[in-house]
Structure 1
Amino acid sequence: MPRRLIALLAFAVTLALSASASAMPDPVDRLELTRMMGRWYEVARLPNRIQHGCQAGASDWTRTAEGFTVVQSCHKGAPDGPLSQWNAKAKVADPVSNAKFRMSFFGGLISQEYWVLDQRIDQGWLILATRDGKYLWLMSQKPTLPTLIRAQAVARIRQLGFDIGRLEFPLPLPTRG
């Protein structure tokens, strides 16, 4: 009896570990690092505390000898609300694919791995998520994505196994006319 119980527990643990390991999709096979440079606009995200109430979010990626300096910003409450910024350093965590980054915030107090799960160079967007899948962003090289392209990107997020019903779609910066 104890042997059967141990075997059953071992099977359950193996099943749980394989299920959690396969829950997060793999990053893209290869990312050209020059594609990360420049400004990326936030189109959609999974909710997170730091960006609560953020609108018109953006990330500015600048290449350095060690990787990238990333300045993230958003406007609190409204696209023309008070500006909030925080800095990060990003280093390539997987030089084979270049699709995994170790990012550190607040002088290295917080460090987390981010994966590029998909990219559509021709459409100007990418999907970035934390390694554990808790956080996710749809980023665009333009302030907004055309409706059809945005729908395709959101469908891709669903295909990757994320709950798109939880996505937030922050308002973009107002256009000046």
Structure 2
Amino acid sequence: MPSLSHTRLRPFVLSLACAGLLSALPSLAAAAAPEPANKVELTKMTGRWYEVARTPNAMQKACEAATADWTRTGAGYSVVQTCRRGTPDGPKKEWKANATPVDPVKNAKFKLSFFGGVMNQEYWILDHGADDGWLIMGTPGGNYVWLLSKAPQLSAAVRSQAIARIRQLGYDTSKLEFPQQVR
């Protein structure tokens, strides 16, 4: 029976170790993600949400006047996300998704299916204002965060409070983008 030499075995063991480490990374990232703080009343999700701030992401590059319209459909929601390229009056870009609550205890975790189910992503409502006029939504891995509001603009005091809460949740607020909104 032929034996494996140390020089042939070493790359094999190294590749197994790297594969094990890489497979552990998503669970490590998920463990670092902040959990939703408060229960969400699902009826408050309906309607238009205006984007106040976000972490940069490829899908929303040069995206201004971004909104998300949530409409109740059976056990979930239809979500239409819209933005304007470059300026609040620029060319319109739109994404459609179906959102399903996946957290029956707090109702704060949603699975969104885009492009007819080709792309799926969970989004968590990490916190929201006492009056439900704003919410902080993020991805479970902690990579992306959005500040959304029921009004196109937040008062300076409320905006500062919400940004401080984003910082408390562990996000680097110096990286936030503040897209223009239609007044």
Q: What TM-score, normalized by structure 2, do the two folds share?
A: 0.83
Same amino acid, percent of matched pairs: 54
**Mapped partners of 2:135, 2:26: distance in 1:** 28
- RMSD (Å) for aligned C-alpha atoms: 1.9
Superimposed CA distance per residue, residues 15-53 of structure 1 (whole angstroms, 9 cap, x where no aligned partner)? x99964542111133110011000000000000111000
Check 1:79–1:21 CA distance in 2 against 1; reply closer, same or farther (3 A cut). closer
1:16-165 to 2 correspondences below 5 Å: 20-122=29-131, 124-165=133-174
Name stretches of at least 5 consecutive residues in structure 2 with no aligned partner: 1-20
Residues in 1 aligned to 2:86 and 2:53: alpha-carbon distance in whole angstroms: 16
2:15 aligns with: none
- 8 Å Cα contact 1:117-1:127 kept in structure 2: yes
Contact 2:30 2:140 (C-alpha < 8 Å) held by counterparts? no
- The one-letter code sitting in structure 2 at the alignment partner of 1:61 is W
Deviations 1:36-75 (A, max 9, x none): 0000000000001110000000000000013000000000
Mapped contact 2:64–2:87 kept (Cα < 8 A):
yes
Supply the distance in 1 between the matched residues of 2:136 and 2:94 (Cα, whole angstroms): 21
Partner AA of 1:155 in structure 2: A
Structure index of larger Rg: 2
Report the Cα offset of residue 134 of structure 1.
1.3
Structure 1 CA distance for aligned equivalents of residues 118 and 163 of structure 2? 32
TM-aligned CA distance change 1:31 to 1:75, over 3 Å: same
The aligned counterpart of 1:9 is none
- Letter in structure 2 aligned against 1:31: V
